[in-house]
């Protein structure tokens, strides 16, 4: 992988999107005392950083910060066929956007093959591993026979006591203990015990010479002095195997915490069909990183009825022991509510900066119109995402092609023609385009026609905004500008004329 290039991309992205000012401390493996809490996030670069991975990273990050430890990012790219540089970049960008900064890494497993092979050779020399040349056909037959007998499929140790020619194609298997049990106290699920007779002799080096996941992870966790392994519960079955490997190598066994899966609202495991699952897709759809983090921390953990947490509160209050064992259900509506909270409460200057690229996607240059910060202050109560905020604010910067059908049907009726025409005439005569003067024009028109304020204001509002949500009409019109307002009222009059 292009480590230097990935690091550069990460830093460039950080300068644009990072919502917290932390800096990366890019150091080598730490030589601190083993008592220091050290966690790791170890994604495989075979796709984007998904929501489940982001929650795992967040929980590991929070546990580390709470205990003053160090957070390590490791890229587990031993799957040479599926791992891509594009996926690595997506992971780095996702971590940066979320603000989950790491003290060490990213480290790449593909750069450590020599180290893994060194460990495998040690296991071979001690008789704790052996060569196996069983064919795929034999292994398939074995599996079928075991399943027919309703026995859990596992390797039968055929090559344990055979001399396999190292010059011929073969794999290396770990000699798993035959008796006893693996017992560990999971930080989330409590005590777990697995009999060794249920575990087979797993492959630790493939026939092409590449190390397998379980071997690489064990060596990395030991070398990087990882004290707490926090990961999804789909790895529970790997844990006893990895503990046996650690014991065979006489290495410290970290504490493990396995997080429950995340489900879609239909009860199935969260996937693409439930909507956005990629972290960066949420950025594209106008979510704020702190909103996604706030939502993710509540997926499986809670603190009373509190819904909104600052990052400092998350660090102070989070406890792995309080994580639920049951799966959590992803609720997009709740995420939208949290996102709206942050859009409404955050610094409008920052929201304006984040909104600008979304306006750009609508071919709008926010410098050619009213101050974007002012638009944010007026509109942000009405939007749940930055994409929505951009859409409902577009009328401040450019004319719209069509009126909102529902709004036009209600407000742009033939009966509104007289009011629009009179307002337009008086607006054109204004020497100063200030909200007070605009309000006076509308008020005078109401008095002249002897109608309710809404009979004048509603048609004017739809005429100048197209039907988009907007604040006080006079302020809205002041920001849009005189020429644009007059042009749009003419468009509304033409619309009404065509109805006659």
Bridge-partner residues for 186, per DSSP?
A: 190
How many other β-carbons are positioned within 10 Å of the β-carbon of residue 234? 12
Q: Can you tell me the distance from the alpha carbon of 159 to that of 173, in angstroms, rounded to the nearest whole number?
A: 9
| Contact call for residues 108 and 205 (beta carbons, < 8 A) | no
Per the residue annotation, which of 126, 152, 272, 361 is the catalytic one?
A: 272
Sheet of strand 228-232: strand arrangement:
104-108, 70-75, 38-41, 228-232, 255-259
Tokens standing for 365?
């240059």
Angle at 345 between CA 347 and CA 17, to 5 degrees: 50
In the residue annotation, 272 being an active-site residue is answered as yes
Task: Report the chain's terminal Cα–Cα distance, integer Å.
Answer: 68
Residue 74's alpha-carbon distances to 32, 103, 337, 356, in angstroms, are 18, 11, 33, 33
Q: Can you tell me the distance from the alpha carbon of 276 to that of 284, in angstroms, rounded to the nearest whole number?
A: 10
In degrees and rounded to multiples of 5, residue 479 shows phi and psi of -75, -35
In degrees and rounded to multiples of 5, residue 400 shows phi and psi of -95, 155
Handedness of CA 81, 85, 91, 92 (dihedral sign): positive
| Contact call for residues 223 and 250 (beta carbons, < 8 A) | no
Residue 437's alpha-carbon distances to 17, 426, 431, 434, 440, in angstroms, are 41, 10, 9, 5, 5
| Contact call for residues 49 and 94 (beta carbons, < 8 A) | yes
- Residue 285, C-beta contacts closer than 8 angstroms, at least 6 positions apart: 276, 385, 387
Whether the bond into 441 is cis, omega within 30 of 0 = no
Positions marked catalytic: 272
């Amino acid at each position: 992988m292009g480590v230097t290039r990935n690091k550069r991309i990460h830093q460039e992205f950080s300068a644009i999107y990072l919502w917290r000012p932390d800096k990366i401390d890019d150091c080598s493996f730490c030589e601190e005392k083993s008592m220091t809490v050290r966690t790791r996030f170890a994604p495989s670069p075979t796709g984007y950083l998904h929501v489940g991975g982001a929650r795992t990273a967040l929980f590991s990050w929070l546990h580390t910060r709470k205990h003053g430890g160090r957070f390590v990012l490791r890229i587990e790219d031993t799957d040479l066929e599926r791992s891509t540089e594009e996926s690595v970049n997506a992971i780095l960008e996702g971590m940066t956007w979320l603000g989950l900064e790491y003290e060490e890494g990213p480290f790449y497993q593909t750069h450590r093959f020599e180290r893994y092979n060194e460990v495998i050779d040690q296991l071979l020399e001690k008789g704790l591993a052996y060569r196996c040349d069983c064919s795929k056909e034999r292994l398939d037959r074995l599996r079928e026979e075991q399943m027919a007998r309703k026995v859990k499929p596992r390797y039968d140790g055929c090559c344990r006591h055979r001399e396999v020619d190292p010059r011929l194609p073969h794999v290396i298997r770990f000699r798993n203990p035959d008796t006893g049990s693996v017992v560990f106290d999971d930080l989330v699920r409590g005590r777990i015990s697995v009999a060794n007779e249920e575990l087979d002799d797993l492959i630790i080096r493939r026939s092409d010479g590449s190390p397998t996941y379980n071997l690489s992870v064990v060596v990395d966790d030991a070398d990087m002095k990882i004290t707490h392994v926090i990961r999804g519960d789909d790895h529970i079955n790997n844990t006893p195997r990895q503990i046996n490997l650690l014991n065979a190598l006489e290495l410290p066994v970290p504490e493990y915490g396995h997080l429950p899966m995340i489900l879609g609202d239909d009860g199935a495991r969260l996937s693409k069909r439930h909507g956005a699952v990629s972290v960066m897709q949420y950025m594209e759809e106008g979510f704020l990183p702190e909103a996604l983090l706030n939502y993710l921390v509540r997926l499986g953990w809670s603190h009373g009825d509190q819904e909104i947490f600052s990052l400092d509160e998350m660090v102070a209050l989070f406890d792995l022991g309080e994580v639920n064992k049951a799966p959590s259900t992803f609720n997009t509506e709740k995420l939208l509510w949290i996102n709206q909270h942050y859009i409404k409460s955050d610094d409008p200057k920052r929201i304006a900066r984040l909104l600008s690229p979304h306006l750009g996607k609508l071919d709008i240059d926010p410098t050619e119109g009213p101050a974007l910060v002012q638009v944010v202050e007026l509109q942000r109560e009405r939007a749940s995402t930055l994409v929505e905020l951009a859409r409902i604010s577009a009328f401040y910067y450019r004319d719209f092609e069509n009126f909102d059908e529902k709004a036009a049907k209600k407000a742009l009726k033939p009966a509104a023609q007289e009011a629009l025409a009179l307002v337009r005439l008086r607006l054109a005569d204004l020497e100063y385009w200030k909200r007070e003067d605009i309000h006076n024009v509308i008020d005078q028109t109401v008095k002249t026609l002897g109608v309710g304020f809404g009979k004048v204001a509603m048609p004017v509002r739809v005429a100048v905004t197209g039907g988009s949500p907007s604040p006080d009409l006079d302020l809205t019109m002041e920001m849009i500008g005189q020429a644009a307002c007059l042009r749009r009222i003419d468009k509304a009059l033409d619309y009404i004329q065509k109805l006659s």
